[in-house]
Structure 1
Amino acid sequence: MKIVLFHQYFLGKNDPGGSRWNQMSSVISEFYEFNVLAGNIHYTTGKRIGKNIFFNKEVITETLTVYRSWTYSGYNSNFFGRLIGYLSYSFSSLLTALFIKKVDLIIVTSPPLFVGISALIASRIKGIPLIFEVRDLWPESAIATNVISNKQLIAIMYWVEKVLYKNASKIVVLTPAFAENIAMRFPQFAGKIELVTNGADFDLMQPSPKYNWVREKYGWGNKKVFAYFGAHGVANDLIQVVETARLLKDREDILFVLIGDGMQKELLKEKARDYHLKNVQFIDSVPKEQVADFINASDVCMAILKKTDTFKTVYPNKVFDYMACKKPVLVTIDGITRKLIENASAGLYSPPGDYQAFKQTVEKMVHLPDLELNKMGENGYAFIKEHFDRKKLAQKYLSIINNLLSV
């Protein structure tokens, strides 16, 4: 049997970013022929993936193939560039899907929301079931971060959301809060909802000594390093880190490191230059295979998002990566992420947007004995090993697929 996945941001080999579906597809392709329809622009770096501008085919294994179709390259330029990026992928991926024969199931993961329509059209034409996966609540997240404000566009997106819920055979959500949100707004679809959370890739993320090549190469020495990994976009609100660094600019023993790319990176660097900060270091995205080395070289890892009610419902992938490497976590994300860290006794919470509170939390973690920081890391590792092992979660996804296909 054959499955097609629409996933605009499916990672290439060693690409930085969230690798949920890279591991899921590896497990599922042991039982089914699995075809991924991906975009050819990386969502954080903006770099093109593959040699051909319009179409690339990569055979990973005998049962796992990735097709990359044309996507507008101005994704990280501004809102309209991102919108064109979404629409271009939605159109090109649909064309690719229609040429794949004998498909038994389609899965689409959102955002972007618009690609759900492409997946729905393909499923209708082929007469097969559709799984709609919600990685982030759209359009709510886009509204909360002021990415979209046009009332007509918002109305269209809410309509698209409802259409997709209505026509999906299953709605897979990544957090309990997503399930509650959808069930509250659309009780008629509650019976379709399945929870398969984000989780830790223990094959890729493993603890190792702090004093490694990263510390030496980047001159971290004996400083207490607070590191952030991931996108530098509007939603990430990394100005919190820069402003906190400004408050701590006289503390030579503390270093903030921001690793990744995104549309606000240059703005953040400019702000750090304006403040004459020597305690903030910017590093471009690193290959996935090196991320664990950077995490392990850090003292504390940070998970940061803009202050909105919507982000109280999310589990960022990076938090699981941190915990898998036994690192204490500093979060400025209220809601279920805060509960995760507090339930696991794996770090500390600081209210989003409160620079003074962020400063105090950083200073508190700096002054904690290493034994206590290490204990936080051990606690986090044990907690996610029990509850958020991605291999176990992939097996849960597989059971949902099996039930739909009556295997």
Structure 2
Amino acid sequence: MRVLLIHQYFLEDNDGGGSRWNEISRFWQQEGHDITVVAGMVHYMGNRPAKYQNKYFHQETNRDGVKVIRCHVSESYNKSFLGRLWAYFSFTFSSIWGGLYYTKGKYDVIVVTSPPLFVGITAYVLSVLKRTPFVFEIRDLWPESAIDTGVLTSGFLIKFAYWFEKFIYHKARFINVLTPAFREKLIHTKGVPADKIFFIPNAADFSLSEELLQTFDVTSFRKLHHLENHFVVTYVGAHGIANHLIQVLETAELLPDTPVLFLLIGDGMQKKELKAEAQKRNITNVRFIDSVPKRDVFKYILASDVGASVLKKVDTFKTVYSNKTFDYMSCQKPILMAIDGVSRQLVEDAQAGMYVEPENPVDFAEKIRFYLSHPATVTTHGKNGYRYAKENFDREVLAKKYLGYLSQV
């Protein structure tokens, strides 16, 4: 099967961040399918590699044998909301051009993954011009999440986003949703036929975690990074408006009498402000670490005691799975889940951690103190999560299932 994937934030080799599609495309390529990716030149956290300076298109084959066509994204991405909006549309224009002139031959299916929602424009145009059906994947409900977090405020843009969302759902051959809550929302609120929707969620990369569980020297790593004698709570992910990581700083302020150390790994628009706030408040039990490759992320998780999944307290986020939750599970670490809704249900069903009320530092601190005084529960929750993810969220198993749906197209 020849698959054309449109993914603005497809990771570079050794990039940190959400690697869902890098892992799926690697597996498909290894299974003998031909995968081409149309991607952007700016990481979702805002970084642009130097090799793309003054370039509008760049072709390469990544380490997994997947052909990647990088397309221009405006450098205004990090400057303001309007700058980011223009960056989205600049990728729309460049990816249409790149998809037309740098992808040769006939494809069996186009897969497009959002957010941003506007990548659907690229999918629709290429679908018409190449006479190829497309599958639309929803990783986050957009525009709802952008509205709830205050990122999208223009009445005109909101109306356009809702109109285009309805249009693209109608034109897609299938829609993949990453959580059961998305499926219910599409059927009961947005009027999408149930037989048009399938469910392939985020998942755990056991190929990496199981290797490191056997070979990684946790003691030496903790000593090297001065983590010994600490109870380490690690957060991995974006440092943006949606994540509301100020609640972690406020929690840290409540735990000065404990050996707790928070590691915040990643990057984003608010990281500089968070570091300044931590310094202003003289918070010494929070450590900021820049984005690292996936393998190193897993090393930090394995060297931690607990993983944290954190988002802003808005209703839309009750419908999402935090993708790093599955990384914590695959590394046998319990989860402090500061997200309500389906993510909370996931952790409670798996008995893999504890729910923390979002934006409630007192509750956050109390749950950490519980783990401090119940080390056996830490171990039990970690093993429960690993077992549950292995049974229900194995990336390789779900990648095969995804191919089954694409073959129907």
Gaps of 5+ in 2: none
Say if 2:180 is the partner of 1:176: yes
- Whole-angstrom distance in 1 between the partners of 2:9 and 2:342: 24
Per the TM alignment, residue 215 of structure 1 is displaced from its structure 2 partner at its CA by: 1.7
Residue equivalent to 2:316: 310
**Structure 1 position 2, deviation (Å):** 2.3
Q: Which residue of 2 aligns with 1:3?
A: 3
Residue type of the alignment partner of 2:152:
I
Shift of 1:76: 3.1
CA distance in 1, matches of 2:372, 2:90: 47
1:236, distance to aligned residue in structure 2 (A): 0.5
- For the aligned residue pairs, the C-alpha RMSD in angstroms reads 1.6
**Structure-2 residue corresponding to 1:97:** 99
Moved more, 190-199 or 67-76: 67-76
Distance 1:260 1:188 in 2: 36
**TM-superposition CA deviations, 1:127-168 (whole Å, max 9, x none):** 110100001010011011111111111000001100000000
Mapped to 2, the partners of 1:260 and 1:59 lie a distance apart of 26
Matched residue of 1:219: which SS?
Answer: coil
CA contact 1:12–1:49 (8 Å) conserved in 2 = no
How big is the shift at 1:73?
2.7
C-alpha change, 1:204 and 1:63, in structure 2 (3 Å) is: closer
In the TM superposition, 1:218-367 aligns within 5 A as: 218-248=225-255, 250-367=256-373
Within a 5 Å distance, the mapping from 1:39-54 to structure 2 comes to 39-44=40-45, 46-48=47-49, 50-51=51-52, 53-54=55-56
**Which residue identity does 1:270 align to in structure 2?**
A
Partner of 2:218: 211
The percentage of counterpart residues that share the same residue type is 47
In structure 2, relative to structure 1, the CA distance for the partners of 1:98 and 1:397 (3 Å cut) is same
Q: Match for residue 72 of structure 1?
A: 74
Letter in 1 for 2:40: G
Task: Pick from 149, 154, 159 the counterpart of residue 158 of structure 2.
Answer: 154
Confirm or deny: 8 A CA contact 2:3 2:110 kept in the other structure.
Answer: yes
Whole-angstrom CA distance in 2 between matches of 1:151 and 1:320: 36
Using the TM superposition, give the Cα deviation of residue 51 of structure 1 relative to its aligned residue in structure 2, in angstroms: 4.4
Counterpart-to-counterpart distance in 1, 2:236 and 2:114: 22
Q: 1:42 deviation in Å?
A: 1.0
State the match for 2:393 in structure 1: 388
2:87 is matched by which residue type in structure 1?
Answer: G
C-alpha contact 1:46 1:73 (8 A) present in aligned 2: no
Question: In structure 2, how many angstroms separate the alpha carbons of the residues matched to 1:76 and 1:334?
Answer: 29
1:192 is the counterpart of 2:196 = yes
| Partner residue of 1:375 out of 377, 380, 389 | 380
Alignment match, 1:401 = 406
Q: What residue is the counterpart of 1:56 in the other structure?
A: 58
1:9-158, aligned counterparts within 5 Å?
Answer: 9-29=9-29, 30-44=31-45, 46-48=47-49, 50-51=51-52, 53-60=55-62, 64-99=66-101, 100-101=103-104, 102-158=106-162
3-state SS of 2:193 partner = helix
CA contact (8 A) 1:45 1:285 kept: no
Q: Which amino acid aligns with 1:46?
A: N
Please tell me the residue identity of whatever aligns with 2:202: N
- AA paired with 2:252? A
SS at match of 1:203: helix
3-state SS of the aligned residue for 2:136?
Answer: strand
Amino acid at match of 1:220: L
CA contact (8 A) 1:323 1:380 kept: yes
Give the partner amino acid of 2:357.
P
CA distance in 2, matches of 1:48, 1:184: 42
Taking structure 1 as reference, are residues 150 and 117 closer, same or farther at Cα in structure 2, changes over 3 Å only? same
Counterpart contact for 1:212–1:293, Cα < 8 Å: no
One-letter identity of the residue aligned with 2:84:
R
Structure 2 distance, partners of 1:64, 1:284, is 27
Q: Which runs of 5+ in 1 are unaligned?
A: none
Shift of 1:32: 2.6
How far did 1:187 drift?
2.8
Distance in 2 (alpha carbons) for counterparts of 1:344 and 1:8: 32
The code of the aligned residue for 1:290 comes to D
Q: How far apart are the structure 1 equivalents of 2:186 and 2:371? A: 37
The structural deviation recorded for 1:50 is 4.1
| Range that drifts further, 328-337 or 43-52 | 43-52
The aligned amino acid for 1:3 is: V
Moved more, 29-38 or 17-26: 29-38
Distance 1:211 1:25, change over 3 A: closer
Render the CA deviation track for 1:365-386: whole Å, top value 9, x for unaligned: 11112x2211111100000000
- 1:279-302 deviations in Å (ceiling 9; x for gaps): 111111111121111001111110
Distance of 2:44 and 2:348 partners within structure 1: 31
2:33 corresponds to which letter in structure 1?
A: Y
CA distance in 2: counterparts of 1:244 and 1:63, whole angstroms: 44
TM-superposed CA distance for 1:49, in Å, is: 6.7
Contact kept, 8 Å, 1:37 with 1:97, in 2: the verdict is: yes
Q: Secondary structure of the equivalent of 1:75?
A: helix
Paired with 1:197 and 1:62, the residues of 2 have a C-alpha distance of 22
